Structure 1
Amino acid sequence: MKILIARLNHETNTFSPVPTRLEDFGLNGPDYDADAYAANKGARTAMGAYIDLAEAFGAQIVTPLSATANPSGPVDGDAYRIMTHHIVDAAAGCDAVMLDLHGAMVAESTDDGEGDLLERLRMVCPDAPVAVALDLHGNVTQKMIDNADVIAGFKTYPHVDMYEAGHLAGSVLITKLKGEASPALAWRQLPLMTHTLMSATQSPAMHAAVEKARALEQRGEILAGTVMAGFALADIPAPCLSVIIVGKDKASAQAHADALADDIWAQREGYVYHSPPLSESIARARHAHDVPGLAHPDCGAANGPVLLLDHSDNCMSGGTCDTMDVLQEALAQGLSNIAVGPVCDPETVAALFEAGEGARVTVDLGNKRPLESLGIVKAPLRVEGTVRRLGSGEYVISGPTYTGMKCGMGRTALFEFDGVQVVVTEKTQEPWDLGVFTCVGVDPSTKDYLLLKSRMYCRPVFFPIAKGYVECDSAGVTSSNYDLFPFRKIRRPVYPLDEVSR
């Protein structure tokens, strides 16, 4: 038996000015064929799980592509064509297909990147069953449902179960190949645009929904169940929450999908995040710092820093990683002993490298990418300071997400001014690890405040060294304030943009 296994991941923020080119899919572009296999064999990815399952099944494996890029703007049309053609061209003659996708890919040529790919694969090999693993933030479409046999998604956010989602989807497909089951796919989409902060699986509403899906699986009532929170920062018809059930027959699968969706709808307010004004958030951070010896219940160090989580400029949702709003407000309110990182500003990096370590320079920091889709243009922050350290910006993630993965921020400089140390980089980067600071000689645990361009993935690593955290919503392309976004394609009414009665 011949099984095609491929990975193509991108979460598209259609409002982001950050380009998504072919070379952005990996450290040096996509991995093809044997390199795609090597990149995932033994890895904790859905594609890694597929490889393990297919090899245990004794199948011949075809691995045409492994490509993943950080969230950013719509995928370049040629890049999308090249990558999807490489998958489709390898499909002829395959007996089954296992795909590691995201579910929220928008390209310049299509609003439904995954649905179009699946439709083309179905045309090439109409009799080959297809299994798909999706990110929890996928925007599911009818075309995706119509052209897949099995779909299973992540059940954690922050995501730590990529391998498990692939293993579940692939295992159900193999039962079909063996003739041991006839899985039936059902889904229900709600007119509900969730806020990403409320899709965390420790958030009460999302936690309850995911646990109901787990319970259905554990009781054997279904083969797989997924709550897809969706990714709302995409101007497409339905960037909304979905429930996907893989059942033993169509009728029962749909009944379970409808029942779980109805439960979610009854708790819809639990998926909405209400942002306080930025000035209020910074004031709360200062208060948290000033209370001696008291740590937030989620944090682990009574004398550690307070985290300022700038979730409006989070590169893992398409942020530019260069907005200065939170830092400016912190300085205005007198906060000091702050470490910031990373700020993506290649122009400033070039100036700091040219000046050299120890040099005293004046730079225009951040706010370089105009947020044209939001009608916002910000002026850089002009500051005078000292170049403290220059480096390669490389570090290795200690875990728990992507443990052992080598990361590179491009050339990286540590710039210090007015009680602030800023890690300035050539590339956008999620603060996956303390390494974003330690690679340039900063011990983040010694700071009073850490300003992180992050929404969620920093938490497993930074919360243990912090005494508290505050979520900061500034005017960026990953803001939780949907009023900033000029949605044009979305089907209305949709909650919470509109009042919706059902």
Structure 2
Amino acid sequence: MRIVVGGILQESNSFSPKKTTVQDFRNYFYITGEELTEAAFENEVKGFCDQLRLNQAEIVPTLFCMAVSSGPLSATAFNELKADLDIRLQAARDGGGVDGVLFAFHGAMVAEGCDDTEGELIALIRRHIGEQTPLVITLDPHANMTARIAGKVNGLVGYKTFPHIDFYETGLQAAGLLLSIVNKESEPVIAMRKVPMIVPAENGQFHSGPLGALWEEARRGEQRGESLITSLFPVQPWLDIEEYGSAVVVVGSDRERAQREADRLAGLLWEKRYEFGVELLTVDEAMELALRCQGSGKPVVISDSADSPGAGSTGDSNFVLRRALELGMEHKLSGMLSMVDAPAVDTAIRAGVGSSVTLSVGYSQSSQGTPIEVFGKVRTIGDGEFVMVGAHAKNTVGRMGRCVVLQIGGLSVLLQERAIFTGDPAMYRSVGLEPATADFVMVKSANQFRAQYERLSNKIFILDTPGSSSANLFDMPFKRIARPMYPFDDHFDWQQLSL
């Protein structure tokens, strides 16, 4: 039994000013051939491979690449990825028959001229394997499900956690589903129901709140046999595309029964729409909380999610630092902040550890604000590599490029050359900073940071700041999405729109 394995993942943000290139994938990771089957990180592709080995199937690797979230792929980048995959799929065919395909996608990747890149890549895979060879995919729950995706695969499995911690388990389940199809043990059907609403990522965790309750309902449906595998897709909030919205997808054994279950859960999602509101604090309010909590033994964790690289923003906003300095917090609090600014990193490195420097920092990539001039001491210089535990997949190496810690009174500012997922305390620890000992810690992450930071503190707050991934969706310049769409519209017959 020969099973083709691979994956291409990136989460795009339509409002980000930075286009994604192939080099962005190579900066994070881009592995091919046998290297794919031997990688140490615990994600869905490792789950594929371990399950296939357990069942003595031959693994035929293609490529597995991932980039940090950013703006849409350039047309050139998307064409390069397609061309590489095309060559490797052809080589897989030439090496013998293909009995099935397992492929990992994000589901919210878009490119210049192509809103549904996953649908396009699935069509490419189908051109090589035909319509009869089973294809099972995995998706992030922030995927934008399309009719093309649902209609061209034999099965799909979304992560069941957000913050995401079940990459590996998702791969195991998807491989088990594919093997059952290849072995003629099952012939699943796919039912989907779209919901014209956007769920803020900041209140979209799956272990609590409205989506936690919805997941419990989904599990009950699986236990009753209404579904073999249910996936919930509260869509990524910063895509400005046409076929857009949240979705419920049910993989079942009976089409009518599966569709009823998808409809039931979609209805419950719509009923909970008012529960997804996000409480936002100003920087002033967050600093006041940090002052009040001094000496409690736990840091106040504040999220500048509007500038989250994990949501596609550039990570170069100085908004929080600017206001903290205006309030004189460098004299009152110990705090940790991060910012992408390659020119400032270069200047600080040339000055050297221990040097006092004046730097212009912030908005080095985007034009959504202006730089500020700061004076501090270069405390640490690093190569920017660290092993992530909770930001994406266990044992994934984060690469933020060269980095420095600039000490401004009690504020430790981590300046980095490249954007990276910032939701893992390992990022700060890699440069000698310990988040648990600070009065406040700033992360640039909408929700994924909770996987690790909730272990450090229960004082977690989301900031009201400007940026490409703002929690205030009314601030975002949507132009192409279909209307009506909640939260911009309400009191309409959503069921007619979702058919």
TM-score between both structures, scaled by the size of structure 1: 0.91
Helix, strand or coil at the partner of 1:423: strand
Matched, 1:207 2:212: yes
Structure 1 counterpart of 2:288: 286
Question: Can you list the C-alpha shifts for 1:344-382, whole angstroms capped at 9, x where unaligned?
Answer: 1001001101111122221111122234xxxxx311111
More divergent stretch after superposition (316-325 vs 202-211): 202-211
Structure 1 counterpart of 2:188: 183
Helix, strand or coil at the partner of 2:150: helix
Q: 1:428 aligns with which of 415, 419, 433?
A: 419
Q: 1:370 aligns with which of 342, 347, 366?
A: 366
- Unaligned stretches of 5+ in structure 1? 294-301, 372-376
Structure 2 counterpart of 1:258: 263
Structure 2 counterpart of 1:298: none
Matched, 1:309 2:303: yes
Q: 2:313 aligns with which of 313, 316, 319?
A: 319
In 1, Cα distance between equivalents of 2:391 and 2:305? 20
In 2, are the aligned partners of 1:341 and 1:451 still within 8 Å (CA)? yes
In 2, Cα distance between equivalents of 1:303 and 1:239? 44
Structure 1 residue identity aligned to 2:305: H
Structure 2 counterpart of 1:221: 226
In 1, are the aligned partners of 2:423 and 2:444 still within 8 Å (CA)? no
Helix, strand or coil at the partner of 2:480: coil
In 1, are the aligned partners of 2:14 and 2:71 still within 8 Å (CA)? yes
In 1, Cα distance between equivalents of 2:328 and 2:457? 20
Matched, 1:344 2:340: yes
Helix, strand or coil at the partner of 2:335: strand
Structure 2 counterpart of 1:109: 113
The 1:71–1:400 alpha-carbon spacing in structure 2 relative to 1, beyond 3 Å, is: closer
Structure 1 counterpart of 2:446: 455
Identity fraction in percent:
30
Helix, strand or coil at the partner of 1:212: helix
In 2, Cα distance between equivalents of 1:490 and 1:398? 35
How far off its partner does 1:461 sit?
A: 2.7
More divergent stretch after superposition (79-88 vs 143-152): 79-88
Matched, 1:34 2:27: no
How far off its partner does 1:76 sit?
A: 2.4
More divergent stretch after superposition (436-445 vs 480-489): 436-445
In 2, are the aligned partners of 1:172 and 1:223 still within 8 Å (CA)? no
Helix, strand or coil at the partner of 1:30: strand
Structure 2 counterpart of 1:299: none
Helix, strand or coil at the partner of 1:464: coil
In 1, Cα distance between equivalents of 2:24 and 2:360? 26
Structure 2 residue identity aligned to 1:36: L
Q: 1:270 aligns with which of 268, 275, 284?
A: 275
Helix, strand or coil at the partner of 1:151: strand
Structure 2 residue identity aligned to 1:327: L
The 1:292–1:488 alpha-carbon spacing in structure 2 relative to 1, beyond 3 Å, is: closer
Q: 1:61 aligns with which of 59, 62, 65?
A: 59
In 1, Cα distance between equivalents of 2:384 and 2:127? 45
In 1, are the aligned partners of 2:33 and 2:63 still within 8 Å (CA)? yes
Matched residues, number? 484
In 2, are the aligned partners of 1:95 and 1:127 still within 8 Å (CA)? no
How far off its partner does 1:398 sit?
A: 4.4
In 1, are the aligned partners of 2:201 and 2:447 still within 8 Å (CA)? no
How far off its partner does 1:26 sit?
A: 4.1
In 1, are the aligned partners of 2:202 and 2:462 still within 8 Å (CA)? no
How far off its partner does 1:203 sit?
A: 3.9
In 2, Cα distance between equivalents of 1:152 and 1:455? 23
More divergent stretch after superposition (27-36 vs 485-494): 27-36
In 2, Cα distance between equivalents of 1:52 and 1:287? 47
Matched, 1:9 2:9: yes
The 1:23–1:170 alpha-carbon spacing in structure 2 relative to 1, beyond 3 Å, is: same
Question: Can you list the C-alpha shifts for 1:8-41, whole angstroms capped at 9, x where unaligned?
Answer: 11111011123311121144652122222223xx
In 2, Cα distance between equivalents of 1:227 and 1:67? 24
The 1:313–1:389 alpha-carbon spacing in structure 2 relative to 1, beyond 3 Å, is: same
The 1:479–1:432 alpha-carbon spacing in structure 2 relative to 1, beyond 3 Å, is: closer
More divergent stretch after superposition (245-254 vs 201-210): 201-210
In 2, Cα distance between equivalents of 1:421 and 1:122? 51
Question: Can you list the C-alpha shifts for 1:74-105, whole angstroms capped at 9, x where unaligned?
Answer: 11223222322333441644221111111111
Structure 1 counterpart of 2:471: 480
In 2, Cα distance between equivalents of 1:369 and 1:338? 28
TM-score between both structures, scaled by the size of structure 2: 0.91
In 2, are the aligned partners of 1:342 and 1:429 still within 8 Å (CA)? no
Question: Can you list the C-alpha shifts for 1:125-155, whole angstroms capped at 9, x where unaligned?
Answer: 2211110110011000011011111011011
In 2, Cα distance between equivalents of 1:500 and 1:489? 21
Helix, strand or coil at the partner of 1:63: strand
Structure 1 residue identity aligned to 2:104: D
In 2, are the aligned partners of 1:272 and 1:496 still within 8 Å (CA)? no
Structure 2 residue identity aligned to 1:138: A
Structure 1 counterpart of 2:496: none
In 1, Cα distance between equivalents of 2:308 and 2:13? 11
Structure 1 residue identity aligned to 2:81: M
In 2, are the aligned partners of 1:365 and 1:380 still within 8 Å (CA)? yes
Structure 2 counterpart of 1:248: 253
The 1:257–1:398 alpha-carbon spacing in structure 2 relative to 1, beyond 3 Å, is: closer
In 2, are the aligned partners of 1:493 and 1:500 still within 8 Å (CA)? no
In 1, Cα distance between equivalents of 2:456 and 2:105? 34
In 1, are the aligned partners of 2:136 and 2:155 still within 8 Å (CA)? yes
Matched, 1:86 2:114: no
Structure 2 counterpart of 1:385: 376
Question: Can you list the C-alpha shifts for 1:152-191, whole angstroms capped at 9, x where unaligned?
Answer: 1011001011122222222122212111111010000000
Structure 2 counterpart of 1:333: 327
Matched, 1:471 2:476: no
Question: Can you list the C-alpha shifts for 1:280-330, whole angstroms capped at 9, x where unaligned?
Answer: xx324423541566xxxxxxxx32221121111111001211111122223
Helix, strand or coil at the partner of 1:65: strand
The 1:394–1:30 alpha-carbon spacing in structure 2 relative to 1, beyond 3 Å, is: closer
* Aligned 1:12-23 pairs, distance under 5 A: 12-23=12-23
